[in-house]
Amino acid sequence: MSATDQSTDVIKATRRGTAARGPRENIMSRTAAMVIMGVFTVYFLVPIWWLLVAGSKDTGSILTTNPLWFADFQMFQNIGDLFSYRNGIYFQWLRNSVLYAGLGGAVATFLAGMCGYALAKYRFRGREMIFNVVLGGVLVPATALALPLFLIFSKVSLTNTFWAVFLPSIVSPFGVYLTRIFAAASVPEEILEAARLDGSGEIRTFFRMSIRLMSPALITVFLFQFVTIWNNFFLPLIMLRDESLFPVTFGLYAWNTQLNQLPELRSLVLIGALVSIVPLIVAFLSLQRFWRNGLSAGAVK
Amino acid sequence: MSAPPTLLATTKPTRRPTPHKRAIAFFVAPFAALFTLFYLLPIGYAIRQSLLVIERDGTFGVPTQVFGGLSQYALVFQDQDFMSSLGRMFAFGIIQVPIMLGLALLFALLLDSPLLRGKRFFRLAFFVPYAVPGVIAAIMWGNLFSPNLSPFKGVTGSVDFLGSDLVLWALANVVTWVFVGYNMLIMYSALLSIPTEIYEAARVDGAGQLRVAWSIKIPLVRPAIILTAVFSIIGTLQLLAEPQVFQSFSSAVTSTFTPNMSVYATASIPNSNLAAAMSVVLALITFVLSFSFLKFTQRQENQS
């Protein structure tokens, strides 16, 4: 190796964890890595940039001006139009989505957390059977359930109601799986025994202590379920006729299908899409830490 | 058809008394009840529906449902549209899933290597699309691919991404765009949990980054890769929202383009018995594929 007289450099490079094969190839592979990541940054962000620009234009200039740069900046007027269109139906959709996904995700997490905790911390007959059935549930595609759910719900006149989308959303087999693994690893038996000696009931112990120890997994399950419900398409498609019950993504889909008859909807679809993803992106990026921790817990098994 | 088995183990007689019985029931019963109602019951109901056929008393008679054995399933496998939608998804999965997971692994390894600067930025930028719902992503890319709306008219004007030849791969691009960052993050967090001491020996031996990645990192994050692969297989067979949206942009996306679209189209005829049989077939295929993939990779692991 020609680098013997530059041994300090080599040691430094080795400490940084790079290959000690001399600096030249190093720069090349660094550059290659940066180029790859740079190109894909463009790929991932340009569509969102395009949506941001398109959301700032009126229907006419969307088609005629440079799609990747601002022309007439009227985003706020577009947002105003969006929220006033047909008596604020868009706001209604946003509200519905927050209820379906926010409330539904919270209830789903709570129920799955309790079940996963019991499966991890207590021995009882049928425990493994329950866990295996639930695990099978993780592998059953949710969309395979949409049609039979529709047939069942139509027997009890629940189709085209809030409950038709809400009720199936509060069951999360994946949540049971993840919280069981997490509870088994992070809620020590000694703490439960100590609580028992102090005379604390099992349920009280769960709500006062265990739930806190499980919080990283619970946040992950909530985020997962929130996204799943927010993105759910088949259930609203098959269950809902009344547009005042639509979640926002399904409402935007409905507008998008009407573009041929009502071309002026184009700017509303685009600004509506933009307005609906901004809170999601912000929430995601700020909660990313929790995702990562929870995801790695799930990936260990 | 018997009722689906109840999950409430505590209601069964036990030989030895289980401690904390009431607490266990309190924790398990709500989920078990809802899981039974909204998972097991629909599965049972779909199977039951799929075994029935409609029979009429003459041309104008009242239709009644009678037991028809597996005749709906025979119809499913004779249904050209459904079978070709399945074939389409196999082609999609065989190409798109390896590309998506390969990219995710490449990005995760680069993020984990000392070659990059600005890792936090890349991690966030690549993950942003996952926050975009499938419907919205499909609306965005539908516009970006369209010959007259796209910012890249030079390309989309000469290559018909929304034509019957390429529209499947335009959809593959939408799915890849949304999910690469998510899969990258799963693999990256698995890489982060590898203790750094493991690399020391490799460094002493003078192994380069590539070699470390190939011989140490990838084998150690195998479970994470398998997890993402199983989720991707399930996701591919369930594809619905993106192609449904693409119908507005492309006449090449038929109403039976994916298996789930076939189910929906059949249910809207309405022929719920046939649609139920399709749902069951699709769920079984998904289950068998993801399960045998898991078994296959486990066996490989035991051999090595």
Contact (CB<8Å) B38/A295? no
- The domain limits of chain A are 2-54, 82-300
Q: Does the domain formed by A82-300 have CATH 1.10.3720.10?
A: yes
A147 — pLDDT class (breaks 50, 70, 90): very high
Question: Which amino acid is present at B242?
Answer: E
Residue B191 has pLDDT above 50, yes or no: yes
Residues B35 and B178 in one domain: no
The answer to whether the CB atoms of B203 and A68 lie below 8 A apart is: no
Task: Note whether residue B91 is domain-resident.
Answer: yes
**Tens digit of pLDDT for each residue in B51-89?**
999 887 777 777 888 898 899 999 999 999 999 999 999
Question: Are A298 and A75 a contacting pair, CB within 8 Å?
Answer: no
The chain B residue lying nearest A28, using CA atoms, is B115
- On the question of pLDDT at B186 being above 70, the answer is yes
Domain tally for chain B? 2
Region A211-219: mean pLDDT is: 91
A142 touches chain B (CB under 8 A): yes
Measured distance CA(A25)–CA(A29) in Å, rounded:
6
Share of residues in chain B with pLDDT > 70 (%): 94
Q: Do B42 and A66 touch (CB under 8 A)?
A: no
For A223-275, the pLDDT digits (tens) are 889 988 999 999 999 999 999 999 999 999 999 999 888 888 888 999 999 99
pLDDT at A15: 43
Q: Residue A132 corresponds to which tokens in the numbers above?
A: 């295996």
| pLDDT over 70 (residue A35) | yes
Q: What's the pLDDT score for residue A293?
A: 63
Q: Among residues of chain A, what percentage have pLDDT more than 90?
A: 64
Identify the residue with better confidence: A279 or A134.
A134
Q: Which residues pair with B56 in a beta bridge?
A: B63
- Element (H or E) spanning B123, and its range? helix B119-127
**Phi/psi at B55 (5° precision):** -125, 140
Residues B24 and B105 in one domain: no
Angle between helices B119-127 and B167-192 (to 10 degrees): 140
Name which of A129, A170, A296 is nearest B189 (Cβ-Cβ): A296
Q: Check residue A4 and give its pLDDT.
A: 40
Given this model, what pLDDT does residue A292 score?
63
**Residue B275's pLDDT is what?**
94
DSSP letter (8 states) at residue A85: G
Q: Are B113 and B213 in contact (CB under 8 A)?
A: yes
pLDDT (mean) for B194-220 = 84
B9 or A214, higher pLDDT:
A214
Instruction: Return the closest-CA partner of residue B297 out of B135, B124, B101.
Output: B101
Beta strands in chain B (DSSP E): 52-56, 63-67
Is some CB atom of chain B closer than 8 A to the CB atom of A65? Answer: no
Question: Taking all residues of chain A, what is their mean pLDDT, rounded to a whole number?
Answer: 86
User: Of B149, B268, B33, B102, whose CA–CA distance to A114 is shortest?
Assistant: B33
Q: Are A44 and B174 in contact (CB under 8 A)?
A: no
**A165 in Cβ contact with A236 (< 8 Å):** yes
Q: Is there a contact between A141 and B129 if contact means CB atoms under 8 Å apart? A: no
In A164-223, the residues whose Cβ lies within 8 Å of chain B are 167-168, 170-171, 173, 176, 201-203, 206
Please report the pLDDT score of residue B39 as a whole number: 94
Domain that residue B22 falls in: 9-50
Q: Which residues of B touch A270 (CB under 8 A)?
A: 139, 143
Q: Are residues B91 and B195 in the same domain?
A: yes
Confidence bin at A21 (pLDDT 50/70/90): very low
Contact: A288, B124; criterion CB under 8 Å: yes
Return the DSSP state at B132. Answer: S
User: Would an 8 Å CB–CB cutoff place A298 in contact with chain B?
Assistant: yes
Both B284 and B253 in one domain: the answer is: yes
| pLDDT at position A301 over 70 | no
Nearest CA in chain B to A143: B238
Q: What is the pLDDT of residue A73?
A: 84
Q: Is pLDDT above 80 for B246?
A: yes
B133 and B24 in one domain? Answer: no
Domain presence at residue B3: no
Q: For residues B41 and B79, state if they share a domain.
A: no
Q: What would the pLDDT profile of B125-183 be if each residue is shown by its tens digit?
A: 999 999 899 999 999 999 999 887 788 888 888 888 999 999 999 999 999 999 999 99
- Regarding whether B116 and B240 lie in a shared domain, the answer is yes
**Would the CB atoms of B129 and A202 count as touching at under 8 Å?**
no
Q: Please report the DSSP string for A109-148 in residue order.
A: HHHHHHHHHHHHH---TTHHHHHHHHHHHHHS-HHHHHHH
Dist. CA B177–CA B127, nearest whole Å: 10
Alpha carbon of B248: minimum distance to chain A alpha carbons (Å): 6
Nearest residue of chain A to residue B178 (CA atoms): A44
Q: Write the pLDDT tens digit of every residue in A53-99.
A: 999 988 778 878 888 888 888 889 999 999 999 999 999 999 999 99
HSE of A129, CA atoms in CB hemisphere, 13 A:
10
Taking the C-alpha atoms of residue B110 and residue B123, their distance in angstroms, rounded to an integer, is 11
Cβ within 8 Å, pair B208-A19? yes
Q: Are both B84 and B153 inside the same structural domain? A: yes
Find, among B292, B136, B144, the residue nearest to B226 by Cα.
Answer: B292
Tell which residue, B272, B246, B243, B269, has the closest CA to residue B257: B243
- The reply to whether B100 and B206 lie within a common domain is yes
What pLDDT band is residue B207 in, cutting at 50, 70 and 90? confident
In B, minimum Cα distance to A277 occurs at: B132
In a domain, B191, yes or no: yes
Please answer yes or no on whether A44 and B141 come within 8 Å at the CB atom: no
Lowest-pLDDT range of A194-208, A225-239, B15-29: B15-29
pLDDT at B189 (0 to 100): 87
Residue B90: CATH number of its domain: 1.10.3720.10
B186 with B262, same domain: the answer is: yes
- The pTM for the full model equals 0.86
| Residues B185 and B294 occupy one common structural domain | yes
Residue B236 lies in a domain: yes
Same structural domain, B218 and B106: yes
